[in-house]
Chains A and B, each alone.
Chain A
């Protein structure tokens, strides 16, 4: 069996930006002084400590401006996972006496889902909302699930796997309405917005959110640093205790280089947001057109390719072959992407997001996710399309499976045995 001849010079085509991005060189440059020269502890009262503290405040201010809020609502954390944990556990444990009900969705990142599962073990009740077949959670569904004892609603902004953008502002308005008619300040509304910067609206007033998670590693910033936006009237039980940094909510000496880098990265992606948004949509749509033309039996997963989908996300299922095998073959050609197949997950179950959308297992096992980035070009897509169709063809030749794609999306494919 012969696979396409490999190029003489292996090119790296990185299409897994939703997993993480490289760090922008300008960000690295901004961080540099805080490793060696300006290394002091920002709590130090001496000159160099105060200088570093100034940088910390500048970073907080920069971020607050982008989120249209005040600096004292920005908490720096150790990343998106920690911010999600802090929001979920923080609210639940602080307000357990006011109610023990939480609403979230089946599409959330594990940082939220597994936190909620832990809270269930601690006596909380969690409602996991089901999305529709494109991954949308309707505001009506949220309001229908609200109860007197609901203290928190946590719904992701842009989905990391399928790119579906949830109607966060509309859901926020539903929650505001509920609070008004019930004369209560509950529930609080949290959104995991890690995939949003550089693409979507981040104004917390327009989004009507009380808590919002962001992180550095998805936005060309450093890894291991994140933000939790927290509206002033929301109180949190801290996860980490110690010296009382971050308004006593997140102890530990601040990761100053990381924080400076995160602020710079957020500033840079927001600066070019509009142009980049259109560029990515065009490129992504071009990719999908080529895929449809050159590979039979494929399906788009998630929202339609419009404004309600992250501009850089393409999640597809390629029938009759398995995602990990495909991913490893693509890797041989320098093409990097990810899959929702069971074989790459710790649990050996396929992606919970794809399954929640009602995608049959057969489709989920053959899913590939491509996420484009700032440096992705048309040439990169052409390079992928030079090899992908042939690799798919070869793997189909050694596969005993031959599914008939049902024109009605998300129904069980007809299964032919050879």
Chain B
């Protein structure tokens, strides 16, 4: 790991947590949970689900939305995931519903970095956990737009195929970087693909640099 600062849950001084006190608090006292079994009775206006247990993280977000003001009145969630995934969702739910509730437009502006900032930071290799919350939110708001017939407001970011032969998209590369890939070789290993076509390598490397800078503030290649 090039960036050692946040790379471990433990630091080498013997302190047991690199998770901030806020992360710990939200992990051990998660806010706004919708308990398993209570989903049927919860009258949500929108729901978003991302991830899968096979990937190691899955998150579901339920929103109650005031139709006129477009403010989020309530946000409930369930998460399968590690400490930072649980804490990130909990913090996101607080951010969305505090101070009378956020408007949908403001909610869509939330970036993973905003959640992390409120959490007092996350170790580098845990950043992907906060990205999932962001995606669950977008998915649930999209559902709301669909329901209320505001199709033009739906945000779809289409994936672009970078390597035709291997069918690698920019999303695949983003995911690989979030999962710790730092080089072309790492990305190939993560995606379990062979050698990329020589002509697509420069673009793949460029995307690795782009996403590394986006999520980690620095590129390693």
Question: CB within 8 Å of B: which residues of A?
Answer: 1, 3, 320-325, 328-329, 331-332, 341-344, 346-350, 360-362, 365-366, 396-403, 415, 417-418
Contact = CB atoms under 8 A, between A and B. Distances in A.
Contacts of B80: 320-322, 399-401
A418 B36 contact: yes
Choose among B9, B33, B56, B59 the residue with the greatest number of A CB atoms under 10 Å from its CB. B56
A398 B79 contact: yes
A180 B125 CA distance: 51
B86 A361 contact: no
A342 B56 contact: yes
Q: Which 6 A-B pairs have the closest CB atoms?
A: A343-B82, A324-B82, A400-B78, A361-B54, A400-B60, A362-B53
7 contacts: A320-B53, A341-B56, A343-B82, A347-B179, A398-B78, A399-B58, A402-B36
Interface string B77-99: 01111111110000000000000
B143 to A, nearest CB: 14
Interface in B18-70: 27-30, 33, 35-37, 39, 49, 52-60
A418 B60 contact: yes
B1 interface: yes
A325 B86 contact: yes
B36 A399 contact: yes
B83 A398 contact: no
A365 B56 contact: yes
Contacts of B71: none
Given A332-B28, A398-B79, A399-B36, 8 more contacts: A322-B85, A324-B82, A325-B86, A343-B84, A361-B56, A399-B80, A400-B80, A418-B78
A321 B82 CA distance: 9
Contact of A1 (B9, B33, B54, B179): B33
Residue from the set A321, A342, A360, A403 with the largest chain B CB neighbour count within 10 Å = A342
A78 to B, nearest CB: 19
Most buried by B among A341, A397, A402: A397
A-side interface mostly: mixed
A398 B125 CA distance: 23
Given A348-B125, A415-B53, A322 B29 contact: no
A52 to B, nearest CB: 32
Interface residues of B, number: 37
B135 interface: no
Nearest to A413: B53
B6 interface: no
A348 B30 CA distance: 24
Given A325-B81, A397-B35, A399-B78, A417 B49 contact: yes
Nearest to B180: A348
Contact of A362 (B54, B59, B78, B81): B54
Contacts of A324: 82-83
A348 B124 CA distance: 12
A396 B55 CA distance: 17
B121 to A, nearest CB: 17
A349 B55 CA distance: 9
A324 B23 CA distance: 14
B82 A325 contact: yes
A190 to B, nearest CB: 26
B35 A322 contact: no
A361 B53 contact: yes
A361 B54 CA distance: 5
Contacts of A323: 82
B29 A1 contact: yes
Contacts of B9: 344
Contacts of B57: 322
Contacts of B58: 399-401
Contacts of A418: 36, 39, 60, 78
A416 B195 CA distance: 36
